[in-house]
Amino acid sequence: MHFRMGRHHQNTHQMILHVGETAQEAKHVIGKNVVWTSPAGKELKGTISAVHGRNGNVRAIFADAGLPGQAIGQKVKII
C-alpha cells in the first residue's frame, strides 16, 4: 500500500501491506517472510512484524535495503 510515514519522515524500510479484511486475518501472517521482485529480477526480502490498524493491514520490515517507490501498489509474495 504505502511506506510507513511520520510527520517529517518517510521510512522506506517499512511498508504497510494489505493482507486481509480484518485484524484477525492479518494476525495469521505475522512472522512470515515477504519477497518483492524488482522488474530487473532482484529480490528484496523482509518479514511481517505487526498488525497495523483494524482493517487487515500489516507492517513489513525490509532490513537489507529500503524499497523503491516503484514497489508501491505492486504485489508481494508471502512465504
Which contacts of 13-16 are long-range, i.e. CB under 8 A and separated by 24 or more positions?
13/61, 13/62, 13/63, 13/65, 13/66, 13/67, 14/59, 14/60, 14/61, 14/62, 15/46, 15/59, 15/60, 15/62, 15/67, 15/71, 16/52, 16/57, 16/58, 16/59, 16/60
pLDDT digits (tens, 9 = 90+) for 46-56: 999 999 999 99
For the chain, the domain total comes to 1
What is the CATH classification number for the domain harbouring 19?
Answer: 2.40.10.190
Question: Can you give the pLDDT at residue 46?
Answer: 95
Q: Name the stretches of the chain with pLDDT < 70.
A: 1
The predicted structure's pLDDT at residue 1: 67
Residue 35's domain comprises: 2-78
